[in-house]
Amino acid sequence: MTTNTTKNSGNPGGTGNNGGTAKTPAALPTSTLPIPPHIARIAVYAGSAAALIGTFLAWTWTTAFPGDLTVTGYPGGLQIITLVGAALTLLFALSGHGIRGLGWLTPGGTNSPVVLLSLGVLGSTGYTMGAIAEHLGGIVNLEPGAWISGIGALIATIGALGLPSDLPADEPHHNPWERLRASLKAPAPKRAKTLPDWVEILIIAASFGIGLYVFAYGIEAYSELFIGFLITTVFGATALNRAGLIPRLNALTAKHRNVTLTAAIIAAAMFPFTQSDASYALIGVNILIFATVALGLNVVVGLAGLLDLGYVAFLGVGAYTAALVSGSPASTFDVKFPFWAAVLTGAAASLVFGIVIGAPTLRLRGDYLAIVTLGFGEIFRITMNNLNGSAGPDLTNGAQGIPNIPDLEIFGWNLGIEHEVLGFTLSRPANYYLLMLFFTAVVVLVFRRSGESRIGRAWVAIREDETAATAMGINGFRVKLIAFALGATLAGFAGTVQAHVSYSITPEQYLFANTVPPNSAFLLAAVILGGMGTISGPLIGAALLYLIPAKLQFLEDYQLLLFGLALILLMRFRPEGLVANKRAQLEYHETDQLDVPDQQKLPEGTVGASKAGA
């Protein structure tokens, strides 16, 4: 095996294999496959172009396969996925080549994004071809367009694997797998030039716009399209990370935090206006409920480090309270509170339960707390089941739950019927989506403000070392109880909306583990998968954990198995979660680099009022 060496990626003619530089053993860029770099680069261009052109041709002869892939002239369905992937591969390859005006695409690695993107294109195209063959019975159903794209993607991938790695290897890897892993590593981007504020804000806004579009696309996708979408998104997001674009964006959002928050809320508020179909808006509102509860759990788990395995019970307390005072004919109480009062009642009920459960159990540490909260989650469900008039007093209708929860009416705006706003039709779920978004924003604000304060620091200190924290004057029990009660209250808030969205509530909605989120296991998974202690982490985690089971229903019984497998893999390769807290990143990946912040904050720090003014 020879290793290809080039001085840098911008020098495709450099075939100095046997030159003087190759003699020195240290710090050589290696490639996975022994192809001369210039040929590899040509292969990437040719392959990606072929994959791109192929999407404009027919891939199959019949419209029986979901999404119309029969048309020659414009792409449809899964072809669009391949098209986007191939276009991105081409773009990043050109940027890596040093084409003027594209350099901003790759401030970090140049060749590793190309490898990842071409793998993504190969994966999604290969999946499409396989799905067509499987769906229609045999590869005979594939039209030439599919072959052009598929073979193009294969050539591009082989070419990409021939590109030199971004980081020179310390020692030569003889194993191809090791060399592949080395070629996926990329250097961190250098500090970005400071742009004018309005440009940076524009970049943030544009990024959220793109994010919203991608998210809406995923929600609308049918199963087959969703798998292709997922493959491309996973590889694409990793590629953008390696290219250094995501770190750059993170630096920008950290600098303009309020702008980012506003942009995120506006982008999220636009979502129902992009949805004509009520069922997608319903997915949206369910994701929001799930995400909000996950964010509330993040206060308890991510900040204070208290493992709560029965958190969904607090959602249930809020939902049951709201249902009982909603004026539902099935409710034991013949009262109809206005919505604001119902919300406050639900939150207060959750708060009381949080304190009642927390006060005795928070004196326990670690595993014991987890066991007690797990028990509490089950006790809640079983109690709701038993308060049916025969096993206990009649309060909750037992297993039938409380049906016919009336729709809300806020300021004369009936959320149960369609509304025309600015020419857009807002369906019932879309109305609730907007209402829930308000609650999510409140929870985000609560999380952020409480996290960055005396109390938030006390939570983190307790999580880090409880003995030392108490020696610093922190009343551990009190501070933990505040975290627990706050988490419970936030879940209660979400519960009051959930009761109205889902028309009826039953005890079976609040299980520990279930295939349908939210349940305690999925909530915890959303927090851990997304990234503990962050705001965006649980939101992204919740969206993924809701969408994947909802879109891949054909997996049915294997769903939980695959879910477990995915969690294990994630914990192995990215234990800090998808969105890394700066702390966690350093905690899990031992690096000798110092965590020097991106911007020099020294002058601000000496004044000493930097964070308080935010």
CA 578 to chain centre: 7
Q: What is the DSSP letter of 154?
A: H
- Shortest distance in whole angstroms from residue 348 CB to other proteins: 15
Cα separation, 376 vs 308, in Å, equals 10
Complex with other proteins: residue 115 or 461, whichever CB lies closer: 461
Complex with other proteins: residue 4 or 350, whichever CB lies closer: 350
Query: What's the helix, strand, coil split of the chain in %, to 5?
Result: 65, 5, 35
Complex with other proteins: residue 368 or 588, whichever CB lies closer: 588
- Shortest distance in whole angstroms from residue 584 CB to other proteins: 8
Q: Could you write out the DSSP letters of every residue in 206-225?
A: HHHHHHHHHHHHHHH--HHH
Complex with other proteins: residue 291 or 461, whichever CB lies closer: 461
In this structure, what token pair is assigned to residue 566? 């995915």
Q: Are 299 and 474 in contact (CB under 8 A)?
A: no
- Shortest distance in whole angstroms from residue 469 CB to other proteins: 7
Residue that is written with structure tokens 């936030």 in the block: 490
Provide the binding-site residues for other proteins, judged by CB under 8 A: 445-446, 449-450, 452-458, 460-461, 464-465, 467-476, 482, 486, 583-584, 586-587, 594-597, 601-602, 605-606, 608-613
Complex with other proteins: residue 196 or 608, whichever CB lies closer: 608
- Shortest distance in whole angstroms from residue 590 CB to other proteins: 10
Complex with other proteins: residue 190 or 449, whichever CB lies closer: 449
Complex with other proteins: residue 360 or 473, whichever CB lies closer: 473
Which residues are registered as beta bridge partners of 420? 425
Q: Could you write out the DSSP letters of every residue in 305-356?
A: ----S-THHHHHHHHHHHHHTBT-TTSSS--B--HHHHHHHHHHHHHHHHHH
Cα 440 to Cα 96, 208, 413, 449: the distances in Å are 40, 17, 20, 14
- Shortest distance in whole angstroms from residue 475 CB to other proteins: 5
Helices marked H in 387-475: 428-451, 454-464, 466-471
Q: Are 142 and 60 in contact (CB under 8 A)?
A: yes
- Shortest distance in whole angstroms from residue 611 CB to other proteins: 7
- Shortest distance in whole angstroms from residue 580 CB to other proteins: 12
Residue 429 neighbours by CB under 8 Å, 6+ apart: 272, 278, 279, 281, 282, 284, 285, 501
- Shortest distance in whole angstroms from residue 574 CB to other proteins: 17
Cα separation, 206 vs 200, in Å, equals 10
- Shortest distance in whole angstroms from residue 292 CB to other proteins: 16
Complex with other proteins: residue 276 or 453, whichever CB lies closer: 453
Cα separation, 101 vs 141, in Å, equals 42
Complex with other proteins: residue 206 or 468, whichever CB lies closer: 468
